[in-house]
Amino acid sequence: MSSYTSKWQQPKMRKKSHLMLLVGIALVISMGIIPAAVWGKDIKVLRIGIGIDPDTLVPFQITTMIPFNIAQLIYEPILQYGENGELIPNLATSWKFSPDGKTFTIKLRKGVKFTDGSDFNAYSHKNYIDMQLNPKIRAPFRFFLAAIKNVETPDADTVKFNLKSTFAPMAEVTALGAAMSLKATQPFDINKLRKEHVGAGPYKLVEWVKGERLVLVRNENYWGKRPTVDKIIYRVIPESATRIAMLRSGELDISYSPSPPDIKSLEASPDFNVARPLSTRMIFIGMNTQKGFTKNKYFRQALNYAIDKKAITERVLFGIAKPLEGTMPPSLFGYSRMDNQYEYNPEKAKALLKKANFPPNTEISLISPVGRYNYDKQIAETVQAYLQNIGVNAKLRTYDWPTYQAMTRKPLDKTELELFLLGWGAPYYDADFMTFMFFSSYVQPPRGLNSSFYSNKEFDKLTYMARVVLDKNKRKALYKKATEILWDDAPVIWLHVEPFSIAYSSKFKGIQVLSHEKCYPQYMTYR
C-alpha cells in the first residue's frame, strides 16, 4: 500500500494515471488485501434485540441459549467450537484422556485475569466444578458432571478430573464450563452472584434493567483479541414483529429469531442479512408419560400420526425448518433416521385412540410459550387444530417464558403438564444431551430436564453404556438401539428441527452464528 500512498501525495497527477490508480485500489480491495483496520471500522454501540429476559446469568444455572450467549461474553468458555463443530482451545489449551479413560486432564492458559483482578487458574476452575457438584447448590445441568469422582489440581495450570467411569463426551462437557472468580464465589452467596458478575470474558456487565435491557462494555484487560465492539446493548423485546420493525427502522442492529415470513422478506432486501444455520434444536410437543391419558403409549403414538409435520414446516414456517425423522437433529453424533416414520395418517391415529380407550372429544391441556421459538404460538394452534380433527379437544393456554419454564421444572406430584410445546437444543454435537440428559429417568424434574417424566429401563441402560464406551462405532450402535426404543415409546410428538436465525443490518460484517446456537458479535465491524 505504500506505493499507492506515495502516488496520492504527488501534487500533479495526470487524469489517466489517476484513473489507473483508482482501478488499482479497487482491485486491492476486491482481493481482500487491504488491511482490516482500513476496511472495517470499530463499532461504538451494537444494539441487539432478544425475545426473553434472562432469568439468570450465573453460568451453571442457565438452561436457555440466549442467556447462555450473553453469559459467555462475560465469563468466557473453557473450550470453544469452531465453525465446523470441532473443539478448539480457549481458556484450556490442551486436553486428553488417560490410557484407561478414567482420568481427563486439561491444561489452562496462563496470565488470564478476572475483572476483579484475581487470577484464573486451576484452583478457580476446581472451585467452579465443586460448586456444581455440591447438592446444596442449584445446578440444573449437574448430571453433565455425574461421571466426575473428584477434581485435582497438580499445579496452577493443570486440572485433573478423576472419573467414576469412562465418559466419552467429557471434552464436550468441558466446553460448557466457564471461568468464575474464586474470590467472587467464596464464600458462596447466590444472591451476590446473581448481582455481581465477575468473569474473564471480553465484556463486563454494567447495567441490567429487568424486562428492558442488559448493557455490556468491553473488558480492556481481556486476555484475547481485543473486541471491535465497544458496547453491546441487549434490548428485551418479546414480540418478534416489534424487533424486526425496530431493525428496519434502525433502532436495532441485530435481532434474534425473526419470524419465518420476516426471514424471507429480509433475505430479499439488500439492506439486511440473515444467518440461519439449521440448529441442534428440535421442537416437539412433550407429553406427561406418568399421568392422565398421555400415560398410554397408544395415545401418544396416535398424536404423532395426527400431526402433518411436513405441512407445518412448509406452510406455517415458510420452509425454513425440517421435519424430524429421528429423535434428535441430524447434525448430532449418534443420530439415526427411524425406519418407521410417523407419517400423517388421521385414520390410523383414530384407531390408536380407540385402542387407548380415549373418550372422543375429551378435553386435554396444551400449553405453549410465546416468543421463545419460531412461531411457537402458531405451531401450538396448528397442533390444536390437528388434534381436534381426530377427536382430541386440546385446550390451549400460552405463557411468557419465565412462567412457562417454571412450569416445566415442577416435580411429578406437583406438575400440571399434559401436552406442552417445548424445544431443546444440544449445546454440544453429541447424542448424549438429547438422550441421557433429556430422556433418562435419572433427570426428571426438579433435578433435571426430563419434563415428560419418561422412564424405560432398557433405554436408560443403553444411553448409560453410550456414555462410558469410548469407541465411536460402538457408541453409534448403542444410540441406534436406544433411539429406536424412544421413538416407539413416543414420549413426545416429534415436530421439526428449528433454524437458529439472526437478522442484522447489511452495514455490518463479522458476526459469527453457529448451528449449536452460539452467536458471537464481539468482532463485528462496519463494512
Is pLDDT at 301 greater than 60 in this prediction?
yes
- Distance from C-alpha of 38 to C-alpha of 11, rounded to nearest angstrom: 24
Mean pLDDT, the chain, whole residue set: 90
Q: Dig out the grid coordinates for 392 from the structure.
A: 382430541
State the virtual CA torsion across 394, 66, 89, 45 in degrees, nearest 10: 160
Among 37-46, 303-312, 474-483, which stretch is predicted with the lowest mean pLDDT?
37-46
Alpha helix (H) ranges present in 217-296? 240-249, 260-267
Is pLDDT at 279 greater than 80 in this prediction?
yes
> How confident is residue 187, by pLDDT bands cut at 50, 70 and 90?
very high
> How confident is residue 40, by pLDDT bands cut at 50, 70 and 90?
low
More confident residue, 516 or 411: 411
> How confident is residue 446, by pLDDT bands cut at 50, 70 and 90?
confident
Is pLDDT at 270 greater than 80 in this prediction?
yes
Q: What pLDDT score was predicted for residue 85?
A: 77
Reported as a single tens digit per residue, the pLDDT across 211-227 is 999 999 999 999 999 99
Burial classification of residue 491, based on how many CB atoms lie within 10 Å of its CB (0-12 exposed, 13-18 middle, 19 or more buried): buried
Reported as a single tens digit per residue, the pLDDT across 386-399 is 999 999 999 999 99
Residues 6+ apart with CB under 8 A from 22: none
Q: What pLDDT score was predicted for residue 146?
A: 87
For 57-77, b/e burial (b = at least 16 CB within 10 A) is: bbbbbbebbbbbbbbbbbbbb
Q: What pLDDT score was predicted for residue 435?
A: 94
Is pLDDT at 115 greater than 80 in this prediction?
yes
Q: What pLDDT score was predicted for residue 374?
A: 87
Burial classification of residue 255, based on how many CB atoms lie within 10 Å of its CB (0-12 exposed, 13-18 middle, 19 or more buried): buried
More confident residue, 106 or 30: 106
Question: Where is 505: in which H helix or E strand?
Answer: strand 502-505
Is pLDDT at 35 greater than 70 in this prediction?
no
Identify each DSSP E strand in 418-500 by its residue range: 419-425, 492-499
Is pLDDT at 19 greater than 70 in this prediction?
no
Strands 148-155 and 158-163: antiparallel
Residue 205 β-bridge partners: 216
Strands 362-369 and 419-425: parallel
Sheet architecture: strand order including 492-499: 322-323, 492-499, 278-287, 419-425, 362-369, 392-399
Count the alpha carbons within 13 Å of 471 in the hemisphere toward its beta carbon: 5
Residues 6+ apart with CB under 8 A from 435: 327, 328, 334, 459, 463, 466, 479, 482, 483, 486
Among 439-448, 475-484, 498-507, which stretch is predicted with the lowest mean pLDDT?
439-448
> How confident is residue 37, by pLDDT bands cut at 50, 70 and 90?
very low
> How confident is residue 16, by pLDDT bands cut at 50, 70 and 90?
very low
Highest-pLDDT range among 65-69, 229-233, 516-520: 229-233
Which single residue is written with the C-alpha cell 415428560?
452
Is pLDDT at 36 greater than 60 in this prediction?
no
Residue 404's closest CA among 238, 234, 289, 278?
A: 238
Identify each DSSP E strand in 141-287 by its residue range: 148-155, 158-163, 203-209, 213-218, 229-236, 254-256, 272-275, 278-287
Polymer length of the chain: 527
Is pLDDT at 377 greater than 50 in this prediction?
yes
- Distance from C-alpha of 177 to C-alpha of 468, rounded to nearest angstrom: 20
Task: Report yes or no: 316 and 324 within 8 Å, Cβ to Cβ.
Answer: no
- Distance from C-alpha of 152 to C-alpha of 156, rounded to nearest angstrom: 11
> How confident is residue 64, by pLDDT bands cut at 50, 70 and 90?
confident
- What's the rounded mean pLDDT across residues 245-274? 96
Residue 95 β-bridge partners: 106
> How far is residue 206 CA from its own chain's centroid?
24
Q: What pLDDT score was predicted for residue 82?
A: 83
- What's the rounded mean pLDDT across residues 244-252? 98
Q: Is the peptide bond before 491 cis (omega within 30 degrees of 0)?
A: no
> How confident is residue 95, by pLDDT bands cut at 50, 70 and 90?
very high
17: number of Cβ within 10 Å: 11
Residue 69's closest CA among 184, 232, 187?
A: 232
CA distance readout (Å), 430 to 102, 276, 463, 467: 20, 21, 12, 10
> How confident is residue 517, by pLDDT bands cut at 50, 70 and 90?
confident
Is pLDDT at 193 greater than 50 in this prediction?
yes
Task: Report yes or no: 505 and 272 within 8 Å, Cβ to Cβ.
Answer: yes
Calculate ∠ Cα 375-362-292, nearest 5°: 85
Is pLDDT at 34 greater than 50 in this prediction?
no
Q: Could you give all domains of the chain from N- to C-terminal order, each with its CATH number?
A: 2-39 (no CATH), 78-189 (3.90.76.10), 203-277+501-526 (3.40.190.10), 279-499 (3.10.105.10)
